[in-house]
Amino acid sequence: MRKVYIIWLREIKKYIRSKSRVIGTLGMPLLFLFVLGFGLKSRISVNNGDYLDFIFPGIIAMSVLFTSMFSGISVIWDKQFGFMKEMLVAPISRTKIMVGKTLGGATTAVFQGFLIFMLSLLMGIRIHSFSGFIVALAFMALIGISFTALGISFGSRMEDMQAFPLVMNFVIMPLFFLSGALFPLEGVPKILRMIALINPLTYGVDALRFGLVGISQIPLWIDFIVLAGFCVLTISVGTYLFNKTSV
Amino acid sequence: MGIIQLKSLTKKFNSLAAVDGISFSVEEGEIFGFLGPNGAGKTTTISMLSTILKPTSGTALINGFDMIKDKADVRKSIGIVFQDPSLDEELTAYENLTFHGVMYDLKKDMRERRIAELLNLVGLEKRKNDFVRVFSGGMKRRLEIARGLMHHPKILFLDEPTLGLDPQTRANIWDYIKKLNENEKITIMLTTHYMEEADKLCDKIAIIDDGRIMALDSPQNLKSIVGGDVVSIKSPDTKKISNAFAKEKWVNKIKIHDGAIDVSVNKAEEMLPKLLKITNEIKSEIISISVHKPTLEDVFLHFTGKTIREEEASAKDAMRLNRRLWGR
Ligand SMILES: Nc1ncnc2c1ncn2[C@@H]1O[C@H](COP(=O)(O)OP(=O)(O)O)[C@@H](O)[C@H]1O
Ligand SMILES: [Mg+2]
């Protein structure tokens, strides 16, 4: 346990120390919140509600998604800068290394989501209930763990950061835009709705919206089952691929 | 018995046998040198011995544990300094060592004591809380050595410990290695393609080329296999001198070329007076005398038919070197 803890702690320390990463990953979600939320506030209303209220849970999910995918993929840095060898040669199983890194990435991702949440409060957004906030926090953790593990899966297969833009353009961006974070699932073309429904992030966004705003398009228990299942899947795949990665 | 015993250890990358069925053993307390040119298979061997690379076939016993079946025990028995940098530069020296200590189950007070002791040994106690990213190449290397020793390993692997370091830093590192071997009674297996390093440091040397062991012995014995010392005498009377020397039993071989005569003898410094006495007796003029003692370079040439060229670092090594020098 101490070993998993020190791996987790290393991730946290590196996160806190790289201020550019903290600020860099805040930028995009804030821009979305600002431009879409405030820009379209008076034009669009979803389910008779305010568009800003509608999208801000999605923006929190976005920030958790970006941060966790990025920290997962950062195993490539560990490989390139050699620290991976230090971990692999130590008397600890690779699975435990994977667990420590996943928890570390998820923690930073949830924290990043929490920052967006606080900034949203400053912008005048009000949440629905405190218990709802706890539900949202739990789902942020699920999203964080799932996508850190997915990031580690990619990172384990990649040699260097050159493939990162590919992952950004063909995995992370589509995951976000096709997740129902920006549009409601009803009243959109069928194909869009279908795609959104096979995207696990959709269920995370829906649960966050339920917790924070009180609107929901999918029953919470379905959100939970889908996301928990996805989480188990990504952890299994991540562990398998990380066990096979070579340095 | 040997604290490290390799048994037909083999690693193939596709069809290339990077390590081709090597067997030898390293005795407890030795400094054992693994000498060979770039691409000979040194790093591949060390990676297998340290359990991070699976051999294609064969195995090794390390501190009595099988490297395939008892991975965890092997890992606790060894410390390793990899050829490429492996510190976390975003952490401090202290944090790097603490991470290592926790990974190897050292309790907090024990860990703190060991960190203080080792930073002192490698002369970095004042830099304890500095980020590794600001360290020089030599400081990083010393920190890596300290880290490899944290958990009191029985065996320390050093893969090219001085690659890319300046001569003074290199000499410093040699001192640390010698000191360790004496004070901590630790068995050291190091790889190098620097002849001088192997010669100065090692009790035994294995010469490896194309994944195969070409020779294994102490540096002294290896050199005497190549032949004794050569005394080269320049003189106008080479014929006459050669005839006179040919009668002596202690002369192994005589060769005349370009107005000089090369005499092979054992222990040249003791034979010089005798040689001079003879040339005096036959009243031959001597222009100059020089003594050439065989080096590991000659040994290497003898066993592999090639010379090791240090400056001919492969492109990959040059890149690694840059990375180390510029901290990337
Ligand atoms: N991961 C790998 N994949 C393919 N070939 C490799 C790999 N690692 C090493 N080699 C090859 O194996 C040979 C031995 O390499 P190495 O053990 O690094 O040599 P040395 O450390 O003696 O310089 C070289 O020809 C090298 O190109
Ligand atoms: Mg090497």
**Interface ipTM above 0.90:** yes
Separation in Å, CA of B91 to nearest CA in chain A = 8
Which of A191-195, A226-230, B13-17, B258-262 is the least confident region?
B258-262
Domain range list for chain B: 4-222, 233-293
Reported in sequence order, the residue ranges of B14-92 that DSSP labels E, i.e. its strands, are 16-26, 31-35, 57-62, 65-66, 78-81
Q: What residues have CB less than 8 Å from B172, skipping those under 6 apart?
A: B138, B142
Q: What is the rounded distance in angstroms from the CA atom of residue A78 to the CA atom of residue A85?
A: 8
Q: Which of A14, A81, A89 sits opposite B51 (nearest CB)?
A: A89
The verdict on a CB contact (< 8 Å) between B103 and A91 is: yes
Return the H-helix or E-strand segment holding A106.
helix A94-122
Helical (H) or strand (E) element with B190: strand B187-192
- Chain A: which residues have CB within 8 Å of chain B? 2-3, 5-6, 10, 13-14, 17-18, 81-83, 85-92, 246-247
Which residue of A13, A82, A246 is in closest CB contact with B84? A82
Determine the structural domain holding residue A66 and report its residue range. Answer: 2-244
| Cα A185 to ligand 2 centroid, rounded to whole Å | 57
Helix (H) or strand (E) holding B191: strand B187-192
Residues A179-237 have pLDDT tens digits of 988 888 888 899 999 999 999 999 999 999 999 998 889 999 999 999 999 999 999 99
Whether A90 sits inside 8 A of B75 (CB atoms) is yes
What's the pLDDT band for B56 if we cut at 50, 70, 90?
very high
pLDDT at position A234, please?
97
| Cα B118 from Cα B97, distance rounded (Å) | 10
Query: Which residues of chain A neighbour B75 with C-beta distances below 8 Å?
Result: 89-91
**What is the DSSP secondary structure assignment for residue B203, as one 8-state letter?**
S
Nearest CB to B76 within list A83, A91, A247: A91
Query: What atom in ligand 1 is closest to the CA of residue B45?
Result: 17
* Helix, strand or coil, per DSSP, at residue B267: coil
Q: Which of B52, B89, B98 sits opposite A89 (nearest CB)?
A: B52
The answer, for B140 touching chain A at a CB cutoff of 8 Å, is no
The hierarchical CATH code for the domain B4-222 is 3.40.50.300
What residues are paired with A46 via a beta bridge? A49
Nearest alpha carbon to residue A104 among A13, A18, A11: A11
3-state secondary structure of B157: strand
pLDDT tens string A17-71: 988 878 878 888 888 888 887 777 777 777 667 888 888 899 999 999 999 999 9
Of B95, B102, B101, B142, nearest in space to B119 by CA: B142
pTM of the model as a whole: 0.86
Task: Quote the percentage of chain A above a pLDDT of 90.
Answer: 66
Q: What is the largest CA-CA distance in chain B?
A: 78
Alpha carbon of A119 to those of A31, A92, A124, B161, B220: distances in Å? 12, 40, 9, 50, 73
Strands lying side by side in the sheet with B16-26: B16-26, B4-13, B57-62, B65-66
Residues with CB under 6 A from ligand 1: B 13, 18, 36, 38-44
Sign (positive or negative) of CA dihedral B67, B70, B72, B78: negative
Asked if A82 lies within 8 A of B86 by C-beta distance, the reply is yes
B239 versus B1: which is more confidently predicted? B239
Strands (E), chain A: 45-46, 49-50
Tell me, in angstroms, the distance from the centre of ligand 1 to residue B234's CA: 46
CB contact residues (below 8 A), chain B span 100-119, against chain A: 100, 102-105
Which is it for the CA torsion A81, A82, A88, A92, positive or negative?
negative
- How many domains does chain A divide into? 1
Cβ neighbours for A206, distance < 8 A, ≥ 6 positions apart: A180, A216, A217, A218, A223
- Quick one: which of B326, B328, B325, B327 has its CA closest to B166? B325
Indicate yes or no: CB of A89 within 8 angstroms of CB of B75: yes
User: Does the beta-carbon distance from B103 to A92 stay under 8 Å?
Assistant: yes
Q: Which of A136-145, A233-242, B114-123 has the lowest mean pLDDT?
A: B114-123
Token couple for A118: 């606080």
Higher-pLDDT residue of B166, A90? A90
Contact B11, B44 (CB under 8 A): yes
Facing residues of B155 across strands? Answer: B78, B187
Q: Chain A residues with CB inside 8 Å of B103's CB?
A: 3, 6, 87, 90-92
Chain A within 8 Å of B176 (Cβ-Cβ)? no
| Confidence (pLDDT) at A187 | 82
In the predicted model, what is the mean pLDDT of chain B? 88
pLDDT class for B318, splitting at 50, 70, 90?
low
pLDDT digits (tens, 9 = 90+) for B137-150: 999 999 999 999 99
Residue A118, phi-psi category: left (phi > 0), alpha (psi -120 to 50), beta (remainder): alpha
**Are residues B87 and A82, on separate chains, in Cβ contact within 8 Å?**
yes
Structure tokens at A205: 């966004």
> Are the C-beta atoms of B122 and B183 separated by less than 8 Å?
no
Q: B82 C-alpha to center of ligand 2: Å?
A: 9
Please state, in angstroms and rounded to a whole number, the distance separating the CA atoms of residues B179 and B204: 17
